[in-house]
Amino acid sequence: MTSHFLLMVLFAFFVSLVFAVLLRDEPREQLRTGAMMFGAFLVAAIVAGWLMYPFPL
């Protein structure tokens, strides 16, 4: 698998899952926190990607 986006999504999923379960005790809260964290990961990555677009290395 060489899709950087899919690998980033997979990474975001694992990290969000573990943090949500660590930080919250109630399953409903865990789901909410995990979903928010996962979404934040994706949005931040896409925004950072677009910000870096004019600066090829």
Alpha helices, H only, 24-54: 27-52
User: How far apart, in whole angstroms, are the C-alpha atoms of residue 34 and residue 7?
Assistant: 18
Of 18 and 36, the one with the shorter C-beta distance to other proteins is 18
For residue 43, the minimal CB distance to other proteins (Å) is 19
| Token representation of residue 10 | 């997979």
User: How far apart, in whole angstroms, are the C-alpha atoms of residue 25 and residue 38?
Assistant: 18
For residue 24, the minimal CB distance to other proteins (Å) is 9
Write each residue from 1 to 40 as x if it is in contact with other proteins (CB under 8 A), else as -, in one continuous string. Answer: xx-x--x--xx--xx-xx--xx--xxx-------------
